[in-house]
Structure 1
Amino acid sequence: MTETVVHVTTLEQWKSVLDVWFEHGHRWLSGKTGYYEIYFTQDNSRYLDLDRGLITRCYSGLNQTPTHFIEYSDFMAQQKEDNKMATVYEVSQSVFDELQRIKAHEGTSLIGAIVAHEPFIKSIEIGNKAILRYLADDPAIKFKVKEQLYRLWRIDDGGDAVYMKFSYGTPDWAMDKDAAFTAPLEEIKKWNNQAWSLEKVD
C-alpha cells in the first residue's frame, strides 16, 4: 500500500476521511478508532496520513507540513470514482430510529409507509431524493447516528454562564457557548473536574 496524506480544513472533513479509512479496517497508530477531535481543534493538525494501514497526523506549520499530499476534495472524488464509498448522512438518534421504522414498513407496503410519514420525511433537511433512495435499500446511500458532542460550563462569580475552550492549547473560558470546546463524552471527561458541569451540544 502506498502512503496517502490528505489535507483537511474543517472538522467535518477530518471526520469524513477517518470514516473512509475506518470503514476499510484501518486504525490509528495506537490501534484505536475514534475521531480524536482534540488533534484537529487543539493541536492544529490539518493532515491525516495513512501508511501501511496505520493512521497518523501531521501538524500545520512548525516545519511539519508534508511535501506530498492531496486535498480533501480530490480524495473524496477518488473514493467515489473507485466506488469504495457510499454517501453517508448523519442524523439524530430519533430521526434514525424513525427511518428504520419506515424502512421496516410493518403491516403496510413501503409506498404506504412513505406516504403515511410524508411530513416527517419532508422535515429532514437532507433532501427527499436521498431519503427515498435509502428507504428503497440503495447501497450508495447510508444514514448513521450523529455522534453526540458535549461541552463543559459553569457559573462564574458574576452569575454568568461560561464555557471551557482552548486558547493556544491552554484551557480557558468564553461566555459564548459556540466558542466552547466540544468533543465526544470520552474526550470531555478527560477535562472535567468539580468546577465544571457537563451538557450535551444541541
Structure 2
Amino acid sequence: MTETVVHVTTLEQWKSVLDVWFKQGYKWADGDKEYSAIIFETGGRFLFLDDYITCSTFNPYPKPYIEYSEFMSQQKEDNKMETYYVTQEQLDLIEELKGKLFPLHALLTRSDRYKNIKVELSGQEEKALLRYLGGDTSIKFKVKEQLYRLSRIDDDGNKVYMKLKYGTPDWTMDKDAAFTAPLEEIKKWQTPAWDIEKAD
C-alpha cells in the first residue's frame, strides 16, 4: 500500500517533491536519485512513495492523493522537529544517558559503555546529541530501518549486486547503486543465485 501520493502540476513542483524524498534517503525503483523530468513531460503527474519512488499519469490507488501545496505545508510542520536516525543500540544508550542526572559528564568520561554512540555520528548529529541531552525538545532520535541487498559472484569471480532498471532486475558492480529494501521486500526478489546481505 502506497504511503504517500502527491499530485503535481509543474516541473518545479515535481523537482521539489523529489528533493524532499531524496533528502530522506528514498530513490526510484531502479536506485537512481535523478529528477527524471522526461517522466513528468510525458504525463506523470502523481508521485508515489512507498519503499521507493514511483509515478503515474493517474492515481491507481484507492488512497486519496494530496496536492503539492498540502504536501509542502506538511514538510514545514515536520521540519520543526529535527529527526536523526541511529541504531537500536545507540538509541538505547542515548535514552539511558538522557535519564542520568549529569548526562554530559557520563558521556565525556572515559567509559567504553557510551563509545558506540559516537560511532557513525556526523558532526551535525554529535551537536544534535549534545543539544538533546541538554534538554532541546526539537530533536528526536529514531531507529533507522535495516536495509538489505542481493549479491552474487559472477563468472569472472567479481561480486555484483542486483539493481532494478525500470522495474526489471539487472546487475551492477557498484554496491551503492544496488536495490536496497527491508528484508521482507528483498526476499520477494531473491532467487537461488542471489544471496541476501545487509546494506551499509
Q: TM-score range by the shorter chain?
A: 0.5 to 0.7
Q: For the residues of structure 2 that align with 1:145 and 1:67, how far apart are their CA atoms?
A: 27
The worse-fitting range, judged by mean Cα deviation, of 123-132 and 145-154 is 123-132
Query: What letter is aligned with 2:103?
Result: L
Deviation at 1:74, TM superposition (A): 5.3
Q: What is the alpha-carbon distance in structure 2 between the residues aligned to residue 140 and residue 75 of structure 1?
A: 16
Question: Is this contact kept in 2: 1:58–1:64, CA < 8 A?
Answer: no
Q: 2:106 and 2:162 mapped to 1: Cα distance?
A: 45
Q: Which runs of 5+ in 1 are unaligned?
A: 17-34, 50-54
State the match for 2:154 in structure 1: 156
Contact 1:102 1:117 in 2 (8 A): no
Match for residue 92 of structure 1? 87
CA distance in 1, matches of 2:18, 2:137: 28
Provide the rounded CA distance (Å) in 2 between the counterparts of 1:193 and 1:58.
Answer: 24
Unmatched runs of 5 consecutive residues or more in structure 2? 9-13, 32-38, 60-64
Give 1:165 shift. 0.8
Percentage of identical aligned residues: 41
- Spell out the pairing of 1:136-147 with structure 2 (5 A cutoff): 136-147=134-145
Contact 1:5 1:70 in 2 (8 A): no
1:177 is the counterpart of 2:175? yes
Distance 1:160 1:14, change over 3 A: closer
Distance 1:15 1:140 in 2: 19
1:48 and 1:95 map into 2 onto residues whose CA distance is 32
Counterpart residue number, 1:41: 29
Matching residue of 2:103: 110
1: CA distance between counterparts of 2:125 and 2:54? 36
Give the drift of 1:67: 10
How far apart are residue 95 of structure 1 and its match? 2.6
Match of 1:69 in 2: 68
3-state SS of the aligned residue for 1:41? coil
Report the residue type matching 1:9 in the other structure.
Answer: L
Amino acid in structure 1 at the alignment position of 2:108? V
- 2:18 match: secondary structure: coil
Q: TM-score, normalised by structure 1?
A: 0.62
TM-score in terms of structure 2 length: 0.63
Q: Which runs of 4+ in 1 moved over 3 A?
A: 3-7, 42-46, 57-60, 62-68, 70-75, 117-123
